[in-house]
Amino acid sequence: MRLKPEKIEKLADLIYEALAANADVTVEVPREKVTHLIKQVIQEDMAAEDAIEEEARKMLDVHKEEITRKGASYDKLLMKAKQQIAKDKKMVI
């Protein structure tokens, strides 16, 4: 899933607000530092998902002719491949 920088910024702000509002959480560093780290984690997660999708596409490309010949849904197979790769890497997508 692609997110625009503005959306990532908004998510980071919302996450920070939720953390700051939680009585069990004490924020001892400046807001900017926390939101910067949150944005970094979101971007790293998106990059990891992109890498999983690329790996799944490469895996399916080997069998593209067979997929077409059998009339299978490339999109469904791609999703299944991504889910399996993510599971193998102990990730959730």
In this structure, is residue 93 part of a structural domain? no
Structural domains in the chain (count): 1
At 35-89, the pLDDT tens digits run: 999 999 999 999 999 999 999 999 999 999 999 899 999 999 999 999 999 999 9
User: CA 2 to CA 64: how far, in whole Å?
Assistant: 25
* ∠ CA 67-73-77, rounded to 5°: 80
Q: Is the pLDDT of residue 1 over 70?
A: no
Q: Which long-range contacts (CB under 8 A, 24 or more apart) does 24-28 make?
A: none
| Averaged pLDDT for residues 1-13 | 92
Burial (0-12, 13-18, 19+ Cβ within 10 Å), 12 = buried
The CB density around residue 52, as the number of other CB atoms within 10 Å, is 20
Whether the full predicted model's pTM is greater than 0.85, yes or no, is: no
In this structure, is residue 50 part of a structural domain? yes
Q: Is the pLDDT of residue 28 over 80?
A: yes
Q: Where in the sequence is the domain holding 57, given as residue range(s)?
A: 5-88
